[in-house]
Amino acid sequence: MAVKIRLARRGRKKAAMFDIVVADSRSPRDGRFIEKIGTYNPQTNPATINFDGDKAFDWIMKGAQPTDTVRAMLSYRGVLYRKHLQLGVIKGAISQETADQRYTDWKEQKDAKIEGKRTSLGTAKEEARKQRLAAETKVNEARAEAQRAKQAAALAAAAPAAEAETTEAEAPAETTEEAGA
């Protein structure tokens, strides 16, 4: 029986999430599986990959073949590097302590790199939000200034018309007084 480590789709339409499962290669994609070892959510940035590294390592060492996507995930999380080191221990090239030390050093560097990406994405997102807010504030101030200018122009146009009306009202009163004298 050929055993594969592969993805099983779940989630709603256009919002897929995947289970990382160990299954017989002849079973359907979303069908029967031997063991579920984790989940994968490609909707987040960076993609969320949660799986039990020890179980995946055990299955890899037993001969389970990962699909291309799962192989990339296992490599990203260091399971394949751990297998490489363990094969060196089995062959006698390095000791178990050396292999464990190399793996923990690699894991710390990788975790720091992932956290750095996560924080840089967060700061970039926050900076973009601040820039959008500043641009929106600038547009709102320009609109308010245009509105004030329009109101000032309307008042300025209304003031001469009001003065003209008051002078016209005074002029006939003077003519009537002159005519009566």
Q: Which residue is associated with the tokens 């949660």?
A: 50
What is the pLDDT averaged over residues 131-160? 87
The full set of domain ranges for the chain reads 3-94, 95-160
> What is 3-94's CATH number, 3.30.1320.10, 3.40.140.80, 3.30.930.10, 1.20.1530.20?
3.30.1320.10
User: How many whole angstroms separate alpha carbon 117 and alpha carbon 10?
Assistant: 27
Burial of 53 (0-12, 13-18, 19+ CB in 10 A): middle
DSSP designation for 94: S
pLDDT tens-digit map of 62-110: 999 999 999 999 998 899 999 999 999 989 898 999 999 999 999 999 9
pLDDT tens-digit map of 23-59: 998 888 888 889 999 999 999 877 889 999 899 999 9
**DSSP-based helix, strand, coil % in the chain, nearest 5:** 65, 20, 15
CB atoms within 10 A of CB 119: 10
Helix (H/G/I), strand (E/B), else coil: 50:
strand
